Structure 1
Amino acid sequence: MTTNVATEYEQRKATVDGDAAKIVFDRHFALESFKQAMPPGSPLPPETIERIHRRGHLDLARYCMAYALAVENAPDTPEQAAFLACIRRIRDAAGEMVSAADSLADQIVRHKNETGMPEHIREHALSRLASALHGRFLVPGHEGAYLSALLPKPIDNPFAGNRMIHGLTDCAAVYNEASDIIAEYREGVIDDQSGGTRKRGMRTGNRSNRGRQAFIRDLADIYQQVTSNAPKAPNNNGKSGPFVRFVTHVFAAMAKQDLVLLDRYAVQPPSAHVIRTALGGP
């Protein structure tokens, strides 16, 4: 006998705070999502808008938040865990460094604006920290250019708003590079041990994912409640139907949210075939 264990998404759905979910996935998101079910250029009917306000927005926001949290917290495989954990620690540490250094630079600017005097203690601290980070790259005879690159100084841009650049700014590049490494690894492009390249762990659009299928089924339920139309994903030579457009918009909008989604594949819009399979079709 097979036990049907609840997915991470289904477990999250039971605990999601509806009010918080509605802040992240707001009213505009809900209206735009259901508008995809309308013919191009057609407005939402008043009764549909009323159902969105009464319950549709809340349910849609809860489902989306639960799925986002399930994806965000999805455990890595043992093979990925050590590598990705290390890269994430580097990324997060770099982000903390540049954020703290930016705060010091902002304090320097604020002190000068308020007093008209330089703030030597913070300037000296930033210079020392930058030298500790980059000191081994000092080339004898080029000390002037080296120190100039490390000293805190205003950004030479009239739109910079009196912000400063400093020798720890490069930590932002480390953060960005670490984020790219994580994304590329998640895509599965790595060197094979035999010397060639292969797609390792690449997830196809048709792979089985119980959490995503449960999410699509919940989208189908709320779609039918709000629009009074049955959700369908017909095989019609590439033309997407109303429900497919609705699901595609929800996934695409989720991917743009300010959430730490390491598995970007999980929020890529599913194909009509995947949606049809989730609905129980062939």
Structure 2
Amino acid sequence: MACAAALDYYLAAKQSRDEDTSPLEGRIAFLTLFWGDKPLSAIDGETCREYAESRIHQAAARRELEDLRAAVYMFCKEKRLNFRPYFDLPDKPVARERWLTRQEAAELLRAALRLRRSRPKTYECLPRFILIGLYTGTRHAAILDLNWNRGPAGGWPDLDAGVLYRRGERVRETTKRRPPMRLPRRLIAHLKRWRRIDSGKGPVIHAKGGEPIGLMRKSFDAARVEAKLGEEVTPHIMRHTRATWLMQRRVPIWDAAGSLGMTVKQMETTYGHHHPDFQQAAADAY
């Protein structure tokens, strides 16, 4: 039995649950190039290491091998195959500590506004994307899925209730949680203005003609370069920035974690040291 069969089965299972499989399809494409014709019995520590060496980024190799492992285990379970190969994955990447200062965030937003003025068709909604990211800490894909109206696929802002719903009614919750959050008052003002501009319909982040946008990486990268920020500044840094700023402002950790869709443990472990009172009692004990 070829690995391609397990990957196809896994992808079909995900699609049958109405999950967004676009990122998974991209990863499976890389996996298929290496593993597609190989039998399941070829999976072992050595071939996993060979695959990791064939990929430039070890973090990507690890994520793809995790997909392959999940696919093989599901396939073997469903087909009642008494087979459970060993997977040797690259080490987990070190957690990123980078976040934006207030000045850097302002420079990034100003750069996005300059780009929009110079090329409105290309950068129409780039400032919106950055403001939503900084004010909510919502992940890249979830921001692009937002619509002005309630629907099955993407989230929507309820401006009357002041709540952002980050996933559609038919979208299942995953480990990358998308819980509702209370909208900041300053962002509500922006959202109301943008809704008037868009006549209250369509995606919140869109191209000049109103079409949905697949990714904002190139546009965001253009703003990053314009703002003279380093390559480590990616769209995901806005989530780190939101979490860090909440801790710096002494927001209760339960509220901060709930707003971002994290567990309290994740929030405390990753961002707790940014709180002004971090270990203060211990530091001043004697």
TM bracket (short chain): under 0.3
Higher relative contact order (CA 8 A, sep 6+): 1
TM-score (norm 1): 0.23
TM-score by length of 2: 0.22
